[in-house]
Structure 1
Amino acid sequence: MLRFTLRRLFVSIFILLGALFIVYNLVAISKDPLADILESTAPNKEQLIAARVELLQLDVPAPARFFLWLGGILGFFIPTFDDPNGLFGFLGNNFSMGVNIANQDVGPLIASAVGQTLQLVTAATLIAVVIGVAVGVTTALRQYSGYDYTVTFLSFLTYSLPIFFVAVLLKQYMAIGFNDFLQDPEIPIPLLLLIGVIMGFIFMSIIGGPAKTRATVFGAGAVGTIAILFGMELLDWFRNPGLGTVLIIVLGLATVLLTAALTVGLSHRRNLIVTGAVAVVGGALWYPLQFAMTNEIGAWFPIALIVAFTVIAWFVGKYFGGLDKRNVASNAAIVGFVVSLLLVIDRVMQTWSGYYDQTGGRPIATVGASSPQLGSDPSIWLQMLDGFTHLLLPTIAIMVISIASYSRYSRSSLLEIMNQDYVRTARAKGLPERTVVMRHALRNSLIPITTIVAADVGAIISGAIVTEQIFGWRAMGSIFSESLRNVDLNPLMGYILVTAALTVIFNLIADILYSVLDPRIRLS
């Protein structure tokens, strides 16, 4: 495994260097960086030309200039030991006023843009992969059903929609419309019934089965949805949201049942007892944690809480798991992660009322990455809520289109695997359908999905240019478009360096995952 990884890493480094060299030279010869000065009538034109030639080292041929730029990155030719930008090293200076103030170090500019892009695309990518694969698997298992046809239609519809159209719809109905709804959060009875019927049909389509089962699921889904929405309206939950101990325990136990159904089965009593205990203990921690999660704590606390509770839950499952301790420990860790995440979400929800007042009753943002009304030193909980409200719309815009592609790929991949001989053999041996699908078929069907996700992650991190423009985010896409328009080489190459490196890294991760999913790959 180590030899396989080192071999892929060695090849990836040369691929990255080759890509940087080609792009650098193509951009360098695409336009004269002195064109704006040559066309000007400034009396000191000669001095301006000389200054820019010295700044950008234009007296050096482009191929040789690339190695000077690369030397600055690596610290070989230009000392960078005192560079405060750390990871981004010496990326040179820009000259275009369109990107930043002229003659400024590109490092901080790229560092800020990378941070904004990672905020924008990380959640969207993770959620899209999880939901897309889950939807694709369920449609493959329910092939040619009404649910399959409906999901296929919606997938092609959303995939064909342009991102700017989706963004405009989200702004109008999910931001402006929801903000208007919060002024008087009352759901009309006809709309309440319509939502219940729609959710009933969705649950019925997913579960399937005989007519009696479908009717039962439809009724339970519709009535349950109406009851939940009516209770939220009655308790003024939309203006004062929260989870509390009871709801956290209920959601934790729902996670227990879901993980058990997908892994060891609902008949595994020890797994249900151990993971159920983790959910109950996590929910019981809600009250004492209210005294610990104050406004004065730092950003480390929610991260430490989630990591610590997840690790402790894993050890609990490992210790009390019995003969099947590996699966029990994994399920306990998943439940611990979900419950601890719910504890953090509940604490963030408690700041909603104050945030609603600070934003003038318009909490769902349509532009920008933060709200200026929060003051100079907001609490970590208020910062998390503000970040969520600004990330909500662009994340959904990216996620909706990504889910459509992931669901189609995962569906076709699983259908192909389900027709293989070893799957039929596993069924012939009498293995439960859950084991056949989750342990044998799904693992192998994830190999092509891994390829697609690795390629998409590199592309998404390079910048969602249209999304950033619509929602007013200054991230990697904005840097790219402005630098390319002005042929400002140093910011553009900083962008290329980061995106190419991340693309190569994720493709390397995909190669490693191939060998994990199928050991025959690393042996070959």
Structure 2
Amino acid sequence: MLQFILRRLGVSAIVLLLASVLVYFLTTISGDPLAGMREQANDPKVAAQMQARIVALDLDTPWFLRYLKWLGGAVGCVWGQCNLGTDVNGNAVLDQLGSAAASTLRLVLLSVVIACIVGILVGVLTAIRQYSDFDYIITFAAFVLFSLPVFWVAVLLKEYAAINYNNWIANPSFSPAQIVLTAIILGLIVMLFMGGSWKRRLLSFGIVAVVVGVAMPYFTWLRFWQYPQMGPAVIAVVILAVGAFALQTTVGFKERRVWLPALISAVLVMVVYYASWNLLSEPNWWILLGGLVLAIAVPWALGVWLGGRFRPQAVGAAMSVTLTGAFLTIVDHLFVTWPGFMALKPRPISTIGSNTPNFKGTFWESFLDNGTQLLLPTIVLAVVSIASYSRYTRAAMIDVQGQDYMRTARSKGLPERTVILRHAFRNALISIVTIVAMDFAAVIGGAVITEQVFGWKGMGELFQTGLKNVDPAPVMAFVLVTGGVAVLFNLLSDVIYALIDPRIRV
């Protein structure tokens, strides 16, 4: 494995080298960096500015010598002193790259994670219920979302999910017509998604329509939209439901060695919820990171200790409970902070920038500010990826379900959940991993447009500014980061192959 990784790294370095040469050359011939000054070259001030730009961009030197100089500084980032040059204004590109890369990568990583979870889950469900109403609806929605232009989706979200929402949240209310229409639409969606007889579907429609019709005015009466609340009772119910779902989809409720670690984990979640309340009232990132480590380590230890031959299932069930509990605990603190955040920022959903200038608040208020700024561009990038992941997952699952070993597994009497999750889904993951690795670089490319629409100071702005000024240094910084990330994810996908499929050996 080590030899394989080193060989792939060597090949990747050659690919990045050739790509950097091509991009540097194309950037230098894409325009004239002095075009705007040539018409006023007789003006002494303009002539001095032109000479300063010639010196800043080293235009008297052939492009390949400038590239070698840049390459020497870039290699120093791996071994030696990192130097990615300066832009047309004399600012160090490395200083700009740090904040730009952090801004873009957090956006891209979050959108890819959300797209993977939602897209793969939807793809598996549509494959299991092939040619059902649910499958037809998801197929239609996937094709629509996949065909939508990114910039158009971004503009729609800015108008309806930001501007209109900010107007509504100042005095939240629903008219009777809105309540009835929402209840009918949600009831129809659930009815079409449900399988079984029409009697079961109509019953689902009625239940959902009544619940929605009662919940909307009730939450408005509680002023939930301005003063949201959850509390320990809701957390306890949700984590028990998640644990029950994890058990039902793996080994069922009969195996004590699986449900006992999950139950102990649920109790520990509630104990930690009360014990850490004051600590989490004003935490820092290290405290949250420590909580995440505990939410993973404790259920893993319980599953290994009590799981026996069902150790993987016990670890999975217990970990799903603790991670859900940790997430809901954070959400509960955010709910408590929401009224104070609204007082500081009456229009919470922003349409421009990655953070609010001069925003001063507590840790959770700053967390909400960054989260609301991140919300819309994340949705834009995730929507298209969810559509593609769901289609690829569905195709892979359908292809796997027609294999001989799937019929053999069913003929042996294995439960359907075991056949789907352990045999079908695991083998379908091989093609899904490839798509995710290839799509990551494409999402970064889409982030360039999304950042422009939402005014983010990220890699997209760095790339566009460099290209506009015919300045290779910022453009090459963009290529270095995005190309490196794409190569890294392709390498990780090859390594994951061997972990997913024991038949694959490097």
Aligned residue in 1 for 2:85 = 92
- Paired residue for 1:278, among 260, 265, 277? 265
Select the residue among 310, 317, 328 that pairs with 1:331: 317
Tell me the residue number matched to 1:75.
76
The equivalent residue for 2:167 is 180
8 A Cα contact 1:454 1:507, kept in partner: yes
Structure 1 residue 199: Cα displacement:
3.1
Q: Deviations over 1:419-464 (max 9, x none)?
A: 1122122112221111111111111212222222112212223462
Does structure 1 retain, via aligned residues, the 8 Å contact 2:27–2:471? Answer: no
Flag the 1:406–1:422 CA change in 2: closer, same or farther, 3 A. Answer: same
For structure 1, the residue ranges without an aligned partner over 5 or more in a row are 81-88, 96-101
What's the counterpart of residue 263 of structure 1? Answer: 250
Choose which of 373, 384, 387 in structure 1 pairs with 2:370: 387
Moved more, 4-13 or 434-443: 4-13
1:454 counterpart residue number? 437
TM-score (norm 1): 0.90
Structure 1 CA distance for aligned equivalents of residues 105 and 288 of structure 2: 19
Match of 1:340 in 2: 326
1:305 offset after TM fit, Å? 1.4
Contact 1:92 1:490 (C-alpha < 8 Å) held by counterparts? yes
Aligned-residue offset at 1:384: 0.8
Aligned with 1:236 (options 216, 220, 223)? 223
SS across alignment from 1:209: coil
Show the counterpart of 1:158. 145
Compared CA separation, residues 228 and 256, structure 1 to 2 (3 A): farther
Retained in 1: the 8 A contact 2:127–2:395?
yes
Work out the number of aligned pairs and report it.
505
- CA apart distance, 1:407: 0.9
* Greater Cα shift, 348-357 or 182-191: 182-191
C-alpha change, 1:463 and 1:173, in structure 2 (3 Å) is closer
| Residue 356 of structure 2: aligned partner | 371
- Aligned partners of 2:77 and 2:400: how far apart in 1? 51
Mark the runs of 5 or more structure 2 residues left unpaired by the alignment.
Answer: none
2:457 to 433, 455, 474: 474
What is the CA distance between 1:52 and its match in structure 2? 4.1
CA distance, structure 1, for counterparts of residue 434 and residue 329 of structure 2: 35
Distance verdict in 2 for CA 1:79–1:501, change over 3 Å: closer
Structure 1 vs Structure 2 CA RMSD? 2.4
Deviation at residue 503 of structure 1 after TM alignment: 0.9
Aligned positions of 1:51-200 closer than 5 A? 51-75=52-76, 80=81, 89-95=82-88, 102-200=89-187
- Which deviations, in whole Å up to 9, do the C-alpha atoms of 1:99-146 show, x marking residues without a partner? xxx111011111111111123222211111111111111111111111
* Alignment partner of 1:403 is 2:386: yes
> Quick check: 1:310–1:333 contact (8 Å CA) kept in 2?
yes
Q: Does structure 1 residue 501 correspond to structure 2 residue 480?
A: no
The aligned counterpart of 1:98 is: none
The 2-side partners of 1:473 and 1:129 are apart by 24
User: 1:355 corresponds to which residue?
Assistant: 341
- How do 1:207-222 residues align onto structure 2 when only pairs under 5 Å count? 207-222=194-209
Partner of 1:303: 289
Greater mean alpha carbon deviation, residues 269-278 or residues 502-511: 269-278
Amino acid at match of 2:396: S
CA distance in 2, matches of 1:270, 1:79: 53
Distance in 1 (CA, whole Å) between partners of 2:264 and 2:3 is 42
Structure 1 residue 53: Cα displacement: 4.3
Give distance in 1, aligned partners of 2:77 and 2:429: 42
Say if 1:152 and 1:122 are closer, same or farther in 2 by CA, change over 3 A.
same
Describe the shift of the 1:105–1:262 C-alpha distance in structure 2 as closer, same or farther (beyond 3 A).
same
- Given the alignment of the two structures, is residue 486 of structure 1 paired with residue 437 of structure 2, yes or no? no
User: 1: distance between equivalents of 2:7 and 2:203?
Assistant: 56
Shift in alpha-carbon separation, 1:216–1:319, aligned structure 2, 3 A? farther
* C-alpha contact (below 8 Å) 2:77/2:83 kept by paired residues: no
1:511 corresponds to which residue? 494
Distance 1:38 1:77 in 2: 40
- CA shift in 2, pair 1:79/1:36, >3 Å: farther
